Structure 1
Amino acid sequence: MNHQQILIIGGGIGGLTSAIALRRDGHAVTVIERDPTWSVYGVGIIQQSNVLRAAQTLGILDGYLAAGVGFDAVEIFIPSGQKVARVPGHPVAPGLPTNLGIGRPALHKLLGDTTIAAGADVRLGVTAEAIDDTGDAVKVAFSDGTTGTYDLVIAADGVYSATRAMILPEAEKPEYTGQAVWRYNFARPADLDALQVYNGRTGVGLVPISDSLMYMYATTPEPDNPRYPTEGLAALMRAKLAGTAPAIQALAEQITDDEGVVYRPLEGMLVRGPWHKGRVVLLGDAVHATTPHLGQGAGMAIEDSVVLAEEIARADNPEAAFTAFRARRFERCRYIVEKSLEICHGQIGKGPPIDNALATAEMFAVVSQPI
């Protein structure tokens, strides 16, 4: 399957890393993204050692390291604020950090610029309205009135994937967990050299994302899945942090900008059946959306991109490539989805409490294995 015409639906992390991998292999790639502004929210993201390995494979490691800040441990605190563990990561190569904190806008710019420089055609404000797999090609009708014919279609269109609904209507759907996450940026203290995780019913993390910046995430029980207006979000986030460790409560006083608060209900989903139909395949959150408790959602999508490109390169037909792709990815993604959900449920009383230090150490060991 050399020199394929490939459509990628979704211009986020999974879609862009797929485009980079497939252009590297000489395929003609078109990326469509529904958001005409191609924007992301302004807080950060954790990329662990397995993601840096994938970035190295994709040829973008230097850009990753320049855009973020590396660190080599996770520190665990109990609700009182006492530190109980410092968990080292598993480096994948000498000289590389085991974790990288990076701002989402910086990561988006790196991936977007690399995708365009690689020669992919990126079309913004466009969706796939109809997908017709004829057996030897896929005909796609777009929302702007145009059409296209492709050898393969890769859908990286997120947890609410419209493509999944089209091709696998009986597949699992996202389920709300009963918890939500709040995020906010702060000035980074000079001595913050690790991801700091505070256990409790309200779980909190502090993540360095540049020499001068860090972000806080806080997971809170939200049993009724409320949708809060932007106005008042800062005061509400401060209130949600009442009763947390003293250091976190002190930071909370700096949460004053409603527009700077990012609030998201947490949902999980794992498609246990096929991840493809014919010449159309799904990856990332479209088939294995995870809560952020192990920091591996984006990492799993990026690994998907590397593995899918490898299987397309070695297979004789789409069925073989897509079947092999899922076989290589399913157990690893299942582990991340299920273990993250266990931590979530433990925090809100829907399951037994999980020891974050043990869970983090186990996760590092698992994802350091080859993909």
Structure 2
Amino acid sequence: MKTIEKVLIVGGGIGGQSAGIALRQIGIEVEIAEILPKFDVYGVGIIQQANALRALDALGVADEALRRGSPYPKVKMCTATGHQIAEAGTDPIGRFPSHNGISRRVLHDILLERSIELGVKYRLGLTVDSITDKEDGVDIVFSDGTTGSYDLLIGGDGINSKVRNLIFGESKPNYVGLSNWRYAFKRPKDLDTGYIYFGKKSKLGIIPMTEDSCYVFVVSAEGADNPFIKEDQMIPKLQSYMEEYPIPMIQELIDQVVDPKLVNYRPLETLNLPAPWHKGNVIIIGDAAHATIPQLGSGAALAIEDAVVLAEEIKKQDGAQAIFTRFMKRRYDRCKMVVESSEKLGEWELMEFSGQKLPENANIGATMGKTTGMLAQPI
């Protein structure tokens, strides 16, 4: 049985960098191939629930994320006019709060700093062109014509994963009919936690990122066939959604939406690859295997958890198939539940935004509560 000593990770996002850190902490040599020629992460925020912080702690970066982010308690769920109807989020786990808001760029920088500290090697501006699986490893031809040999290959290259398509054949993400808008602001003085407001045409959230900054997100239905928004429509459309909410804290921000290039807009897609997520000496993690929409704020958390669990299993050094089998046993049901629950919540939101009556069994609170309760359980 060959000892795993050298691993290639394709994709330098949250999942890929987390895997690099986790493997370096157990002494594995790691290279990360990232298709971007330089990192240029957009600076809008990300929600970290307590389970994400617990996973980041295993990577040695949770305290830094809390220091450079903004811890806050459970999110207040409100009507469009501001009447609170519920709270949402995982309970605190040990010393970790229910939530931490942080800029995605800042989180990336924290992971990059830790990766470099541990000796992760980066190769920017390239990806894999071919993968040849062997009994004792994988041979790679990169997009720049260079080659390499590794004991394992981890595909962490996102929802449109090249690794996934090379290993399992092409699989396309599913557009759910919803879109997500994000825009960063100076933090209002009365923003004491995260808030989510439910309107007739959209859902709006305002989330702390630091003591001085926050971001607003809007979930909307932009059309099942063509969710593309032209740049000159970005500002008026986002402002029009915000105008639905007569909350002083929101209304004061509308005039600050001025730069279309700072609007982060994307149609929402999911992907839930059937088990197994591995073949031979190749495994995929994060959005490459289980991309979810942000209705439960858990996409990045699942990728970080994947990285931590995979490193724990690799440390046992009992062969790729045994390692991957245990990984799937620990991860598949958990990730599948988050993807499916998020899809169901998105389906109900789309119905409401379209003026349709929800089915009798639609229970948003129960669905969120069951899933976040599961996420609080150990990984």
Cα distance, 1:355 vs structure 2: 4.9
Which residue number in structure 2 is paired with residue 341 of structure 1? 343
Paired letter, 1:99: H
Aligned partners of 1:11 and 1:31 also within 8 Å: yes
Which residue number in structure 1 is paired with residue 132 of structure 2? 132
SS in 1 for 2:321: helix
| TM-score (normalised: structure 1) | 0.95
Deviations 1:53-111 (A, max 9, x none): 111111112211112110111101012322222346411113x3221000011001000
SS in 2 for 1:348: helix
Aligned partners of 1:202 and 1:241 also within 8 Å: no
Instruction: State whether structure 2 residue 26 is matched by structure 1 residue 18.
Output: no
Aligned partners of 2:174 and 2:270 also within 8 Å: yes
Which residue number in structure 2 is paired with residue 164 of structure 1? 164
Cα distance, 1:354 vs structure 2: 5.1
After superposition, the Cα gap between the structure-2 partners of 1:311 and 1:38, relative to the gap in structure 1 and judged at 3 Å, is same
Q: Output aligned runs, 1:252-263, within 5 Å.
A: 252-263=254-265
Cα distance, 1:239 vs structure 2: 2.3
Instruction: State whether structure 2 residue 99 is matched by structure 1 residue 91.
Output: no
Give 2:274's match in structure 1, choosing from 254, 272, 290.
Answer: 272
Q: Quote the RMSD (CA, aligned, Å).
A: 1.8
Paired letter, 1:316: D
Cα distance, 1:43 vs structure 2: 0.3
Which 4+ stretches in 1 moved above 6 angstroms?
Answer: none
Gap regions ≥5 residues in structure 2: none
Which residue number in structure 1 is paired with residue 237 of structure 2? 236
- Taking only the aligned residue pairs, the percentage that are identical comes to 40
Which stretch shows the higher mean deviation, 27-36 or 134-143? 134-143
Instruction: State whether structure 2 residue 223 is matched by structure 1 residue 225.
Output: no
Deviations 1:144-179 (A, max 9, x none): 221100000000000011111110116x53110000
Aligned partners of 1:202 and 1:244 also within 8 Å: no
Which residue number in structure 2 is paired with residue 48 of structure 1? 49
Aligned partners of 2:70 and 2:209 also within 8 Å: yes
After superposition, the Cα gap between the structure-2 partners of 1:143 and 1:169, relative to the gap in structure 1 and judged at 3 Å, is same
After superposition, the Cα gap between the structure-2 partners of 1:87 and 1:268, relative to the gap in structure 1 and judged at 3 Å, is closer
Aligned partners of 2:4 and 2:317 also within 8 Å: no
Which residue number in structure 1 is paired with residue 76 of structure 2? 75
Q: Output aligned runs, 1:128-207, within 5 Å.
A: 128-169=128-169, 172-200=171-199, 201-207=201-207
Aligned partners of 1:18 and 1:306 also within 8 Å: yes
Deviations 1:262-282 (A, max 9, x none): 000000110123101100000
Query: What is the distance in 1 between the residues matched to 2:228 and 2:8?
Result: 34
Gap regions ≥5 residues in structure 1: none
Aligned length: 369
Instruction: State whether structure 2 residue 102 is matched by structure 1 residue 102.
Output: yes
Which residue number in structure 2 is paired with residue 5 of structure 1? 6
After superposition, the Cα gap between the structure-2 partners of 1:99 and 1:42, relative to the gap in structure 1 and judged at 3 Å, is same
Aligned partners of 2:179 and 2:227 also within 8 Å: no
SS in 2 for 1:126: coil
Aligned partners of 2:90 and 2:375 also within 8 Å: no
Cα distance, 1:135 vs structure 2: 2.0
Aligned partners of 1:138 and 1:150 also within 8 Å: yes
SS in 2 for 1:274: coil
Which stretch shows the higher mean deviation, 273-282 or 359-368? 359-368
Paired letter, 1:102: I
SS in 1 for 2:232: coil
Aligned partners of 2:23 and 2:30 also within 8 Å: yes
Aligned partners of 1:2 and 1:313 also within 8 Å: no
Which stretch shows the higher mean deviation, 273-282 or 75-84? 75-84
Which stretch shows the higher mean deviation, 299-308 or 348-357? 348-357
Query: What is the distance in 2 between the residues matched to 1:225 and 1:342?
Result: 22
Query: What is the distance in 2 between the residues matched to 1:204 and 1:183?
Result: 10
Aligned partners of 1:76 and 1:356 also within 8 Å: no
